[in-house]
Amino acid sequence: MTIFSPWVILGFVLAMLSSFSGGYFKGKNDEHQRQQVEIAALNEKARETEQRMAQVAQTYAQTLRKANDVARIKETKLRTDLASGERKLFIPVKAPECPVQATGDATAPSGDTQARAELDGRVAQALVDLTSRGDQAIRSLNTCIDQYEKVRSMK
């Protein structure tokens, strides 16, 4: 039997193919294990980040709730004052043109000389309602922006 015998060549080729396939299988298995370890580490990091983000969200929710409670107390006091007549809302109005000439020796009254009109109680309450809803929306938006900036800076 010579070295160039077909059986020797076939044995050599089979030995090479089996060593290459064994190496390929081992490398593939090792890479799979490495990827699983890396995925687990990344998942753990993502869970930690998610927990920090949830904590930030909870903190901002509490802050918004406190701000809304303070605003609600102020709004309730304002509504009570308006209903009792302790506080009144006025709007500036254009003074009518007066055809009567004032005399030269008349003195101007001191204080506020702007013409004003008192708002009806229902209109005043509606105005307070409108402004309180607007203020609440602004507080919510500002809290949302602050929370977004905080979470964005965490990455």
- Per-residue pLDDT reduced to its tens digit, 56-75: 999 999 999 999 999 999 99
Q: State the Cα–Cα distance between residues 101 and 127, nearest whole angstrom.
A: 38
pLDDT recorded at residue 104: 54
Question: Is residue 30 in a domain?
Answer: no
Range of the domain at 63: 38-93+114-155
Question: Is residue 109 in a domain?
Answer: no
Question: Is residue 118 in a domain?
Answer: yes
Q: Say what the pTM is.
A: 0.61
Torsion angles phi and psi, residue 104, rounded to 5: -70, -25
